Structure 1
């Protein structure tokens, strides 16, 4: 079997846009993962807008997930045209862009496949926006270790990739290998670091593991909302640093003086493809403001983390996006349409700044964010042969909210006629939640000294907690507002 056989990979190779402010910089970075296959309808204006939006919200670059499809190649050429000056570059901030190559699914790779990966490196190694570490091209993967043994796949990466990229094309290789970290000694000479892709979600938290941990409270998973004790047990798995520490410790088995650890952060995960399609139908629990928790964890452990990758900018099929819903969606994806997530992007700058600088920035603008799923977790969809997603029992029928306040204020959340929760909040960041009401929407206001500061009200046409859905959708609808009137 070929040493690069039976893998699916994603290799970060080069930058194509923006100013290279952090080339060879030893400082920390925040990048966002972009599925280029979802961008093939993009124009230069779409890319310009996305780059500007990301830069304005604290993101230093895009990890471009480029696959072998014609659409991906078209998008790559479009980006090249942008970089060659066919349109003005963004003026706000500077964006480091990373290229990524990905193939989803085990296939038999030949030398020509390895050549494709090397070509991505050599094509952009000297580009002024290529991210370099110690003068080497930064490269990463999504998987790439699914061979007969660690030794076999390492020989393949060595002979077909690492050893053939020298001089200005030499790579600083930080892969996300989904293999036992105890085997990292086998990777010596291949890896310069590691990327913990699945660290952004509590992937090991399942109904079975929760019932085991909760013991006598296991039956409470069927409730629409949970007790504080049950929430505490579930939250102990959300946003933790435990898997990160495992990956970091495993790097001790890899030689080198400048090893890189890249961590992931993600706001959500839900996918709902039938067996006849991608056969993916599950969720990872991110209730109780899991995006905020994960960021706080990474910030408190920033001395051990070099790069944070937001997973993702635009993976609509897995509901993990923070960018605008635009471009294209994978065939059969319906759960992202109309489900805005840019509120999560708007709060990202606060956390990204804290990660990069080591200090949380002052809150200079009042903001209010809230999100919820579109139907009760136990609702019976009337026209969905795929069924509810695995682990849906872990979720709650709750509205989640976060207030960013410059001074103490009063926040009122409403989830139905006569159903309002009013809370006095201090200056800073405050998390709030309340049960949803079937058949109703959601809204919120912030007041200070009796005067209105802002309000969020998406309206029934945008969001209603529907007790009778046609299909299952455990994606989140995110709404937000700022004191200057920006709403979504």
Structure 2
């Protein structure tokens, strides 16, 4: 066990005091959707302010090869973009002692790679995370013993800074000395019919005792699998400009949040992807085809700068970001899967975020529904009720001169859906 590892095992009260922490943003990346990828297919996101991909790895035998490709692509990019492993314990086996070998192989393989993300920055400790894992035992008697055995019990293992996403009562964190922090996956969305807030984050912070806190941030959630496939058919409430609102919560509380994880870059099955639709979809084409989400990337970059620096960046040109569902929530469709659970949580609105370098008039319209506002310089939010078949349109003008006229192709609201598609259509002005 190295010195870094020994520090990780010290009782909380004996740990060295925390220094001011650099704010970092990572994005959850589903390796399971990359079966057809070649090295050149690995898209880098560092230009949008993302510092690293959290590589969600599961049990498929081909996934280690795709992880190797990702690290090769990072080298080829000639950037400082980082990668780290997020072990998907809903897929990877973890009952027997031998199941830890897969995790250890990943860690030892990339321990010295220049694009492996270390945490804290500048240290020699590999950042590692999970999706779930609270039920793992690796042949040991307790959760504490299980993860100590898997990540710290072998003298050949490197020092690991372990920030898992365990779905458990955070009050139990005090007894888990083997974790160096926690990732609150479900902080990314409201878990009920409410708007986003910092309440779930506060509960984790209270119980972590100064250890690393990673918060979730996500633009959307809709999954529509029937009983004949994955049997997942529900939404989380993402109204009220949710993506923007969640980022604003994290900016406000940036002193308490060490890392923000964007959920996700490419999880098409749950509709919260912000990257390009590429690779192999998990039978989700019915609700993702034609629903590109990359319009959210530049808006996300604006908020990432504010989260990292504590100050919102200057706005140099007019931009409009629009999103919303293309069908009424209460509409009926000839769809054997049925309406998603929680469908009544969402309202039929177009959500708009407007960035202005100087005051302007802004009009959102869709058919006979229209709203015009005089907006100040800076970021403003607008919404428009969607009631009938119509095409979305936005105009910005100053002193009677139109400075932006944007009618995004494909952004058509219709009252008669073919299936219950609650995915978001996203558009950003050029």
TM over 0.5: yes
Matched, 1:72 2:63: yes
Matches of 2:217 and 2:82 in 1, distance apart?
18
Q: Give the superposition deviation at 1:70.
A: 3.8
1:379 is paired with a residue whose SS is coil
Q: Give the superposition deviation at 1:317.
A: 0.5
Matches of 2:94 and 2:111 in 1, distance apart?
27
Matches of 1:58 and 1:329 in 2, distance apart?
26
Using the size of structure 2 for normalisation, the TM-score is 0.89
Corresponding residue for residue 16 of structure 1 = none
Matches of 2:232 and 2:92 in 1, distance apart?
16
Matches of 1:472 and 1:342 in 2, distance apart?
22
| Equivalent residue for 1:402, pick from 310, 330, 353 | 353
Matches of 1:136 and 1:147 in 2, distance apart?
23
Corresponding residue for residue 289 of structure 1 = 241
Matches within 5 A, 1:38-117: 38-47=33-42, 50-51=43-44, 54-83=45-74, 88-90=76-78, 94-105=80-91, 109-117=95-103
Q: Give the superposition deviation at 1:394.
A: 1.1
Matches of 2:253 and 2:365 in 1, distance apart?
36
Conserved 8 A contact 2:71-2:83: no
Corresponding residue for residue 320 of structure 1 = 272
1:432 is paired with a residue whose SS is strand
Q: Give the superposition deviation at 1:446.
A: 1.4
Structure 2 residues not aligned, in runs of 5+: 1-18
Matched, 1:337 2:289: yes
Moved over 6 A (4+): none
Task: Provide, for residues 329-385 of structure 1, a one-character-per-residue CA deviation record: whole Å limited to 9, x for no partner.
Answer: 102442111111112111011111111111111112210011110111111112x11
1:32 is paired with a residue whose SS is strand
Matches of 2:67 and 2:92 in 1, distance apart?
24
Matched, 1:300 2:300: no
Matches within 5 A, 1:354-365: 354-365=306-317
Matches of 1:300 and 1:108 in 2, distance apart?
38
Matched, 1:392 2:387: no
Matched, 1:37 2:27: no
Corresponding residue for residue 325 of structure 2 = 373
Corresponding residue for residue 421 of structure 1 = 371
Matched, 1:476 2:427: no
Conserved 8 A contact 2:74-2:81: no
Gap change, CA 1:250 and 1:34, over 3 Å in 2: same
Conserved 8 A contact 1:40-1:74: no
Task: Provide, for residues 111-170 of structure 1, a one-character-per-residue CA deviation record: whole Å limited to 9, x for no partner.
Answer: 33211001111111111122222421111111111258x971221111232222667x11
Corresponding residue for residue 13 of structure 2 = none
Using the size of structure 1 for normalisation, the TM-score is 0.79
Gap change, CA 1:474 and 1:89, over 3 Å in 2: same
1:396 is paired with a residue whose SS is coil
Corresponding residue for residue 353 of structure 1 = 305
Conserved 8 A contact 1:444-1:457: yes
Matches within 5 A, 1:7-46: 26-46=21-41
Matches of 1:341 and 1:438 in 2, distance apart?
24
Matched, 1:142 2:131: yes
Matched, 1:194 2:176: no
Matched, 1:155 2:105: no
| Equivalent residue for 2:207, pick from 250, 253, 267 | 250
Matched positions, count? 408
Q: Name whichever of 267-276 and 333-342 sits farther off.
A: 333-342
Corresponding residue for residue 128 of structure 1 = 114
Matches of 2:426 and 2:144 in 1, distance apart?
43
Corresponding residue for residue 164 of structure 1 = 154
1:116 is paired with a residue whose SS is helix
Matches of 1:112 and 1:337 in 2, distance apart?
41
